[in-house]
Structures are given as structure tokens and as C-alpha cells.
Amino acid sequence: MGKGNTQPMRSRREAAKQRLEAQLVRGTKPEKVNGKTTSVMVSLLDIDKNRIGREIEAINNPKKR
């Protein structure tokens, strides 16, 4: 990206955060078959919910690893 403009990265993170939050609200995720995403939605497992929570936390606090 470069040192100057961080706006594209910030907006990309916000878009990713919105998609993750929407998945949590819906309680579903796209199914993957042979490594390809399909349009079929499957229920989130507890492990998925935990992972999404960690990802959202990482987006909210990018310096904390």
C-alpha cells in the first residue's frame, strides 16, 4: 500500500468487518465444495463464531496481535 494514504486499507477492513458481522447476524456462511465457494448457505458452527469474533477483534485493534 505505501506509507502515505491508509484510506483504502481502512475501507477494506471496514468492508470485511461488515461482512463478518452480517454472517454472525444471519448465522450462516457460504458452503465450500472442493475449495470453491458456492451460493448454498450453511449454518455457522461454534468454531466459526469464535473465529469470526477473533477476526472482528483483530480488525478493531490492528496493532494488537
pLDDT at 9: 75
Mean pLDDT for back-to-back runs of 10 residues, the chain (65 residues):
65 93 95 94 96 94 74
59 Cβ contact list (under 8 Å, min separation 6): 13, 14, 16, 17, 20
Biggest alpha carbon distance in the chain?
41
Residue 43 falls inside a structural domain: yes
Q: How high is the mean pLDDT of the chain?
A: 88
**Of 48, 28, 49, the residue nearest 40 (C-alpha):** 28
pLDDT at 28: 95
For the chain, what is the domain count?
1
Amino acid letter, residue 27: G
Structural domain range at position 41: 7-60
Please give the grid coordinates belonging to residue 32: 465450500
Residue 14 falls inside a structural domain: yes
Is the separation of the CB atoms in 15 and 23 below 8 Å? no
